[in-house]
Amino acid sequence: MKELVEIRDLWFRYGKESAWVLQGINLAIEEGELVSIIGQNGCGKTTLVKHVNGLLKPTKGDVLVKGFNTKNMETHELAKFVGHVFQYPDSQIFADTIFNEVSFGPRNLGFAPNEIEEAVSSSLRKVELQKDLDVRPDSLSIGEKERLAIADILAMKPDILILDEPTTGQDYFTCEAIMKICRELVDSGKTVMMISHDMDLVARWSDRVVVMSDGKIVADRTPAGVFTDFDLLESVEINPLQVSLLARMLGMENTPVSTDAMIESLMDWLPR
Partner 1 sequence: MGKETWRSRIENSSDATLGLRGTLLEIIKAENLSVEYYRSQFSLSNVEVSVDQGEIVLLTGPSASGKSTLLYCLSGIIPHCINVSRYAGEVYICGENARKTPFVSIMKNCGVVLQNPTSQIFGMTVEEDMVFGLENLCLKRDEIKNRLDETLEFVNLEKYREADPLTLSGGEKQRVAIASMLVMRPKILFLDEPTSNLDPRGTREILLMLRKLREAGKTVVLVERKIEHILPFVDRIIALDRGEITLDAEPRRFFADEELVKRLGVNVPQVVRVAYGLRERIGLAEIPTSIDELRDVLAKMRSDSV
Residue ranges binding partner 1 (CB under 8 A): 40-42, 139, 141-144, 168-175, 197-200, 237-239, 241-243, 245-246, 249-250, 259-260, 262-263, 266-267, 269-271
Closer by beta carbon to partner 1, 113 or else 169 = 169
Nearest distance, CB of residue 101 and partner 1, angstroms = 19
Closer by beta carbon to partner 1, 171 or else 187 = 171
Closer by beta carbon to partner 1, 40 or else 122 = 40
Nearest distance, CB of residue 128 and partner 1, angstroms = 13
From the list 111, 125, 234, 242, the residue with the least C-alpha distance to 177 is: 125
Rounded CA separation 186/81 (Å): 14
Closer by beta carbon to partner 1, 83 or else 137 = 137
Q: How far is CA 123 from CA 92, 101, 205, 211, 258, in A?
A: 16, 12, 21, 31, 31
Nearest distance, CB of residue 48 and partner 1, angstroms = 15
Closer by beta carbon to partner 1, 33 or else 198 = 198
Rounded CA separation 257/200 (Å): 9
Q: Is 4 in contact with 160 (CB distance < 8 Å)?
A: yes
> What is the DSSP annotation of 177-239?
HHHHHHHHHHHTT-EEEEE-S-HHHHHHH-SEEEEEETTEEEEEE-HHHHHT-HHHHHHTT-P
Q: Which long-range contacts (CB under 8 A, 24 or more apart) does 65-74 make?
A: 65/4, 65/5, 65/160, 66/4, 66/159
Closer by beta carbon to partner 1, 28 or else 142 = 142
Nearest distance, CB of residue 203 and partner 1, angstroms = 9
Nearest distance, CB of residue 170 and partner 1, angstroms = 7
Nearest distance, CB of residue 42 and partner 1, angstroms = 7
Rounded CA separation 119/155 (Å): 5
Nearest distance, CB of residue 56 and partner 1, angstroms = 21
Closer by beta carbon to partner 1, 134 or else 260 = 260
Torsion angles phi and psi, residue 246, rounded to 5: -60, -45
Q: Helix (H, G, I), strand (E, B), or coil: what is residue 19?
A: coil
